[in-house]
Amino acid sequence: MQGYLKHYYIGELLSEKNNVISKIQKFKPYEQMVLLCSRYDLKEDEKEYIQKLIFSFEIDWSNFLGTVLYNRVNGIVYNNIKQFEKVPVYVIYSLKIVYSEQEVRTKLHQEEIFKINDILDQEKIKFAFLKGSVLNSVFYKKGERISNDTDIMVSVEDLDRVVNILKGEGYIQGRFENGEIIPAMKKEIIFARLNTYEIVPLIKKINERYFPVHELDINFRLGNDDVKGLSVEMLDNTFILKNEGKGVRTMSLENFLLFLCVHHYREATMIYKIVTGDDFTLYKYMDVHFFITQ
């Protein structure tokens, strides 16, 4: 019976001229669900296809949940999947709980980002928020996406000033372990500046359940191969993006997208990311999709 339903609900759409649907047919049903439900702009035929996937009784819901959470697309998936019939209650409930937690965390995260933005603007610093700090503050709704840290780019000339300003706000250069901030040694700070494109992270305790610390990753160039000073050019072309009356300074939209893609390419080719399975995490591509479709 299940084989018949799969043929009836899924197979009948194979001949339809939908580029997205035709490209995901090679994946398992639960993987198809993940790919479709993490999209921002679901079309009517895609919604119909999702509903028929659900009715096919072929979805492995445990693998679906695990894949969604591992790829950090659970917020968008929750907002999409709750509109469909016959989704198991435990799936909706699990996603809703995580969504609510992310919503609280994002609000606290945004408050810190907006505060730092205003301070650096007042100090006439050349800076630009990057990646998730902008996407979470402007493009996504609270709860749809989570960030573990905040990325900022500043000019090399302003680097020491920025570090001192943020230390004055309670940030410490180091790492967070077992509930405590471990200050970085001087040799670690020097090594990072001389051999990488970012400094040792600055961390501040927030002491909130869903947002215990705020970590700032400060970049001072695009990467180790930024020999022509492209990052300087990008910092000369910034503007404020606003959401609900609050703003974050970032690069021009074209440069923001360029940096996002460069960053994802860099991570996709890092041995460490490949070994840990974080080289092709789906949320990175969801970010690009969200950015260009809004």
**pLDDT tens digits, 29-53:** 999 999 999 998 889 999 999 999 9
The owner of tokens 């910034």 is: 238
**Are both 87 and 162 inside the same structural domain?**
no
* Same domain for 81 and 142: no
Lowest mean per-residue pLDDT among 29-43, 201-215, 232-246? 232-246
The angle subtended at Cα 76 by Cα 75 and Cα 77, nearest 5°, is 90
Strand-pair category, 172-177 with 180-183: antiparallel
* Main-chain phi, psi angles of 142, to 5 degrees: -55, 130
Same domain? For 92 and 116 the reply is: no
CB 67 within 8 A of CB 73: no
User: How confident is the model at residue 225, as a pLDDT?
Assistant: 61
**Do 212 and 238 belong together in one domain?**
yes
Place of tokens 């079309």: 43
Does residue 286 sit in the same domain as residue 158? yes
Domain of 141, CATH number, reads 3.30.460.40
Residue 170 has pLDDT above 80, yes or no: yes
Q: What is the 8-class DSSP label of residue 47?
A: H
Q: What is the mean pLDDT of residues 269-290?
A: 84
The total number of structural domains in the chain stands at: 2
- 6 with 42, same domain: the answer is yes
Tell me what pLDDT residue 205 has: 95
Does the pLDDT value for residue 135 go beyond 90?
A: yes
Mean of the pLDDT values across residues 154-178?
93
Question: Do 83 and 179 lie in a common domain?
Answer: no
CA-based nearest residue to 50, from 13, 95, 98: 13
Regarding whether 192 and 174 lie in a shared domain, the answer is yes
Of the candidates 98, 120, 147, which is a domain's last residue?
A: 98
* pLDDT at residue 224 in the model: 61
Instruction: Identify whether residues 49 and 192 lie together within a single domain.
Output: no
Is there a single domain that holds both residue 87 and residue 110? no
Q: 150-154 and 127-130: which strand pairing?
A: antiparallel
**Containing domain of residue 83, as a range?**
2-98
Which residue among 80, 98, 116 closes a domain?
A: 98
- pTM for this structure? 0.85
Is residue 110 domain-shared with residue 163, that is, in the same domain?
yes
Give mean pLDDT, residues 47-72.
94
Of 50, 68, 98, the domain-final residue: 98
Same domain, 94 and 110: no
Task: State residue 226's pLDDT score.
Answer: 63
Kindly write down the DSSP assignment for every residue of 247-262, as one continuous string: EEEEE-HHHHHHHHHH
